[in-house]
Amino acid sequence: MSEEKKPLNFIEHIIEEDLKNGLDPKDLKFRFPPEPNGYLHIGHTKAIGISFGLGEKYKAPVNLRFDDTNPAKEEQEYVDAIKEDVSWLGYEWAEECYSSDYFQQLYDWAVLLIKQGKAYVDSQSSEAMAEQKGTPTQPGVDGPYRNRSVEENLDLFERMKKGEFNEGEHILRAKIDMQHPNMLMRDPLIYRILKKHHHRTANDWCIYPMYDWTHGESDYIEQITHSLCSLEFKPHRELYDWFLDQVVDANKIRPKQREFARLNLSYTIMSKRKLLKLVEEGVVSGWDDPRMPTISGLRRRGYTPSSIRKFVETVGVAKRENVIDVSLLEFCIREDLNKSAPRVMAVLNPLKVVITNYDADKEDWLEAENNQEDSQAGFRKVPFSNEIYIEKDDFKEEASDKFFRLKLGGEVRLKNAYIIKAESVVKDANGEITEVHCTYSEDTSKKVKGTLHWVSIKHAVKAEVREYDRLFNDEAPDSHNDKDFMEFINPNSLKIIEAFVEPSLADAEIGQQFQFQRLGYFNVDKDSKTGQLVFNKTVGLKDSWSKQKPKTEANQPKPQQKRPAIELIKQYGKKYDRLPDDKREAAKADIQELAKQISYEDLEPLFNTSVKKSGTRIITMISLGVLLNNGLEKNEAIHAFIEKALEDKNKLLVEEASAL
C-alpha cells in the first residue's frame, strides 16, 4: 500500500515552482538564523522545523547561522544553549556560521556603497532623524548630511571603524529615498557605533552592521536559496532585495525571502526580552525553569523531541498569525509518553491505611505490568505490606453511590494487588482522619468498581515532586496596552510536595520519564541526587485545564475566553453606519484600538466585501488606517480598495477613505 502523500504547504509550493523554472535541486539550501541573545523558545521550534524539515524533504543542506551583530545583548552561553536545543530536537546542520564571520566583507561592501554614492554618514541625533523620516502617510525629508561628498563619507566611516567617535555620534545610512512609501526604505541604517566586547571578535570592531544589512548579504554569502522568516519581516523584503541588488553576481544564487506566520501559544510569553525579565527578577529559577516556554525548560519538564516536532507538524505552516491553544502541545506530549513511559505507583498526598488481617511481619512482592501500551516493556515486582499509603482524596468516611473509591464499609481494588474493605478510621485531636483500618481479601475475582494506586510504607522512597501550573493566568498576558504582563503571573504556578514512590524508582536517573498511575506523567529533574529524588510533573493524564482555569486573584471570576480582535472588529460592521454620532465615535475608537492587534492578512479578505455591506467596508477602512500608520506599505490591493471606496455613495466610507 503506497504511503499517502501530504498536501504541499505554501512554502513547498514556492520551492516546487522554482524547481520547475530551472532551479537545480542540488542548489537548494536553507538556514536557521537565531540571534544569540537568549534561549530558544517554543515559538522558534516552528522556524526550526520549517527550515530543517525542508532540508530533510529535499535532501538539502541547512546552515545554523548566528546573527551575532549586537554584542550588547549576546553571549556565548546563548550560542551553546541554541546548539544544544537544535541538536536535541534531532536536527543536524550542514555548517555552523556566524554573521561575525562576514564582518570584513560587510564592511567592504559598505565602503563600495559609499563610493557609489549609495550610502552616507549621518551625524544627527536619533530624535532629529526620526522626525525627518515622516510617517506612513507623510513623506520624509532629506537630512543636512545626506549630500556629503564621497570623500568625507569615506573618511568619517574609516574613523568610525577606528574608534575615534563615541556611540551615537555618527551612523552609516543607505541613500535610497526619503519619500518612499515604505518607511523602511527611507535611508535605513547600515552601521552604528557600539563599543562593546563581542563574544567572538573581542574588541576587533567598534562598529556593527544592522540586521537588515546583514541578513540578506549573509544569505548571499552562504548561497541560501530560500530565506524563510516570520511575517513581521514582510515589509523588510523590499529592503532585503535592494541590498542584494547592490552586491549580487548574476552567475550566483540570489536568495529569496519568504515569510510565514509565527507560532503564538496561549498563556505564554514569546518575547526573549520579557523572558529575560522573568529570569532576572527571580520569577523563575532560570532559562530552563520547567515553567518557561524555552526548549530547555520544556526538556527539563519532560517534553520529548518527538512530541515537540509532532506539535509543530500539527500546527502546520500558515500565512496568517493565530494563537494556538497550549492544550495542543500538552496533548502531543501526553500521546507520546503514553506509548513509552513506564507505569509506576506514587502517592502525593498520603493517607495511612492499616490492613488489620495482614500479618505485620509479612510482605509480598507482586507482579506489575510496566506499560500495557508496549508489549516489550515487561513486568516488575512491587512490595506489599500491612501498612500502605493511598491518596487522601481516595477516601471518604461517608460518600454517595457515585463515589467509586474507598469509603467506610466499601471495597476497592488495589492496583496489582488485593481487594480491601474499609472498616474504621483513626482521627487526631482536630478530628482529622490519620489512619483507615481495612481488611483485605485475596479473592481478586470479585467485581468492584474502584481501583486505587498505593505504596507500601516500609518500602516507600521519599521524593520531592514539583507540580507545575501555567506561569500566567491570562490567555494573552502581553496583549494588554494598559497593564504590564508581570501582573498576570500565576502565584501558584509551582507547588512542591513531599511524596512517596515505589522502591523501583530508587535508582531512577535524571531525565527518566514515568507515568505515576492515575496522576500524570513525571520525569526526574536534574536537581536529583543519590537518596534525594526530585520529580517534575510534565502533564496530567487528562486536560483538566479546560474544566477549571486559574483565577487571577482569590474570589475573582474566571477570565473570559478572548475572541480574536478581527472578529470583534467585524461585529461593529453590522451596525456601524447606523449608530448615533456619539456611539459611532466610541465605536471607532474601539476599532482603532483592536486594529493594533491584527495583521494585514487578517484584514485583506474584507476588501472584497459586498457594496451593500457598507458598515463592514467602513470598519475595514478604519482598521487599514491603523495598519498604515504603524508602517504597513500600500500595495495594489490597498490602492484598489481605497479608490473603489472613494467612488462610493456612502459619505462615512468616503470620509474614511479620503483620510488615507
Q: Mind telling me the catalytic residues? A: 35, 262, 272
Q: Say if residues 562 and 475 touch (Cβ distance below 8 Å).
A: yes
The grid coordinates of residue 176 equal 535610497
The grid coordinates of residue 352 equal 495511612
Terminal CA-CA length for the chain: 58
Closest CA to 264 of 632, 620, 597: 597
Write down the residue that cell numbers 495583521 correspond to: 599
Q: Say if residues 58 and 277 touch (Cβ distance below 8 Å).
A: no
The grid coordinates of residue 162 equal 577606528
Q: Say if residues 81 and 39 touch (Cβ distance below 8 Å).
A: yes
Interatomic CA distance for residues 584 and 576, integer angstroms? 6
Closest CA to 370 of 512, 536, 526, 525: 512
Beta-bridge partner residues of 229:
259
311 alpha-carbon distance from chain centroid: 12
The grid coordinates of residue 479 equal 496583549
Length of the chain: 660
Closest CA to 515 of 369, 388, 391, 329: 369
The grid coordinates of residue 488 equal 498576570
Distances (CA, A) of 441 to 83, 418, 526: 57, 6, 41
378: left (phi over 0), alpha (psi -120 to 50) or beta: left
Q: Say if residues 412 and 450 touch (Cβ distance below 8 Å).
A: yes
Q: For residue 137, which amino acid is it?
A: T
Write down the residue that cell numbers 504541499 correspond to: 8
The grid coordinates of residue 226 equal 530560500
Strands of 280-418 (E only): list them. Answer: 323-324, 343-344, 346-347, 350-355, 364-369, 379-384, 387-391, 395-396, 406-407, 411-414
Strands of 102-245 (E only): list them. Answer: 119-122, 171-174, 189-193, 207-209, 226-230
Interatomic CA distance for residues 618 and 656, integer angstroms? 7
224 alpha-carbon distance from chain centroid: 26
Interatomic CA distance for residues 455 and 415, integer angstroms? 10
Q: Say if residues 161 and 194 touch (Cβ distance below 8 Å).
A: no
State whether residue 299 is helix, strand or coil. Answer: helix
